[in-house]
Amino acid sequence: MAFRREKDYCPSHRATKIGVTIGIVGVFCIFAFVFPYYGFLSSAPQKQNHTLSQSQANSCRCESSKKTNNVKILKKNAELAKQLKELNAKIQFLEQERDHAPQAGPFGTIKALSTNPTVLPNESVNSRLAKILEEVSINRELIVSLANAKVIPILEIWLSNVERVGIRNYLVVALDDDVQEFCKLNGANVYKRDRDEAIDDIGKTGESSEVSALKFIILREFLELGYNVLLSDIDVICIQNPFDHLYRDADVESMTDGHDNMTAYGYNDLYDEPAMESSRIAFTRRIWVYNSGFFFIRATIPSIELLDRVAYRLTHEEGVWDQAVFNEELFQPSHPGYIGVYASKRTMDFLMFMNSKVLFKSVRYNPELMKLKPVIVHMNYHRFDRLERMKAVVEFNVNGKQNALVPFPLASTLDWE
């Protein structure tokens, strides 16, 4: 991990100054405890030459004053003790920072860490889900998909291929009773959340885009419980086990909507402004968005912050698309008036984690690419006839039927109606 230091920053000097401060605070604590009625903590003692009658008359008032002073002293001591504890914590932090500060090696040998530490599991968030995940997950990882009754035929294909490639660490989040019953009848791992009207209404009746937005709210509990999640839309066909092909070196590892090396991984885009004459060309950098229907997200603080930001915008802004918001929050850099999410990211291999545009535009017309065995195929570019295309993908990639993809046009006809 790279550490940034200001020019005159020195942890040892700061630790020394804080140590002196602690010493002074400690002396005042001891003085306040031994001599509670002297110095700045209380008023001077009463003079001794008062008559007995005056003492009796003022006895109640003096007793009350003493109690009040005692309370003030105790509060002051408690405040000083708290300050002492905080200063000790700061010294410990500075000492640890000094002891673990990296030393730069030779040129070309420095590699920064791209992963953030995982969070400590908090089972109090959802003890019922925690028990399910403990049974289902492998190495605290699992693949998760959300479904309602509208998509049970597609869910059936998703489940059959997940089980065919040997994935046991999967979980279907049922958004209604029909999906829960379907999974139980088929012996599939299923979880239905406790009733939440706001989520349940969308889950039962919402369209695919609305249901897709729910995942950012639901996934938070998985991450809080300390589990890394491979989120999958149900229109994904597993050809191989995706867990065997993850790098796990970033907070978010996502498939792309790009269809070639440039669009998937980024390219220079030249902006031409003739009025600037000799400086008319400006270099810009472009990349096609990550697909929010298939990504691996690790249980880290930046990942949870990302989910929180996306979920907040989706529930407070009108007419926003979950994938657009997901990418905006993930890629937008910090700038005046805005602090970005410091989540690291990796783009998946677009030929291994394949979107349906790559398949139907490029692969099926290229004999060499047809020999590839992708990890997954996501029918994200073909919404209206995705069930038939998913069946064709299984025929082509699993059963070896070479002409299975031929009958389909490039685009789903109804996509633009």
- Look at residue 322 and tell me if it is in a domain: yes
Domain check: are 213 and 300 in the same one? yes
Domain check: are 314 and 374 in the same one? no
Contact indicator for 225, 121 with CB cutoff of 8 Å: yes
Domain check: are 91 and 144 in the same one? no
The reported pLDDT for the residue numbered 45 is 46
- Look at residue 2 and tell me if it is in a domain: no
- Look at residue 117 and tell me if it is in a domain: no
The reported pLDDT for the residue numbered 9 is 43
Domain check: are 198 and 250 in the same one? yes
- Residue numbers of the domain that contains 395: 353-416
The reported pLDDT for the residue numbered 389 is 97
Closest alpha carbon to 119 in 295, 323, 307: 307
**Domain final residue, candidates 101, 133, 168:** 101
The reported pLDDT for the residue numbered 213 is 75
Domain check: are 311 and 368 in the same one? no
Domain check: are 197 and 297 in the same one? yes
The reported pLDDT for the residue numbered 90 is 81
Domain check: are 197 and 342 in the same one? yes
Alpha carbon of 247 to those of 175, 226, 297: distances in Å? 31, 19, 12
- Look at residue 276 and tell me if it is in a domain: yes
pTM of the model: 0.75
**Cβ density class 333-342: b for 16+ within 10 Å, e for less:** eeeeeeeebe
Number of domains observed in the structure of the chain: 3
Domain check: are 261 and 131 in the same one? yes
- Look at residue 112 and tell me if it is in a domain: no
Determine the straight-line distance between the first and last CA of the chain, rounded to whole angstroms: 51
The reported pLDDT for the residue numbered 205 is 56
Task: Show the tokens assigned to 263.
Answer: 């669009």
- Look at residue 60 and tell me if it is in a domain: no
Running DSSP on this structure, what letter comes out for residue 119?
A: P
Residue 237's domain is classified under what CATH number?
Answer: 3.90.550
Alpha carbon of 361 to those of 207, 382, 412: distances in Å? 27, 12, 12
Domain check: are 337 and 272 in the same one? yes
Domain check: are 177 and 262 in the same one? yes
- Look at residue 20 and tell me if it is in a domain: yes
The reported pLDDT for the residue numbered 201 is 60
Specify the DSSP element, H or E, that contains 181.
Answer: helix 177-185
Domain check: are 191 and 208 in the same one? yes
* pLDDT tens digits in sequence order for the chain, 417 residues long: 443 433 444 444 555 555 656 666 565 656 555 555 444 444 444 444 445 455 555 565 666 666 677 778 888 888 888 888 888 878 877 776 666 677 788 998 888 877 899 999 999 999 999 999 999 999 999 999 999 999 999 999 999 999 999 999 999 999 999 999 999 999 999 999 987 766 666 655 555 556 677 899 999 999 999 999 999 999 999 999 999 999 999 999 999 999 999 999 999 999 999 999 999 999 999 999 999 999 999 999 999 999 999 999 998 999 899 999 999 999 999 999 999 999 999 999 999 999 999 999 999 999 999 999 999 999 999 999 999 999 999 999 999 999 999 999 999 876 444
- Look at residue 85 and tell me if it is in a domain: yes
Cα–Cα distance, 14 to 90 (Å, whole number): 10
Domain check: are 254 and 165 in the same one? yes
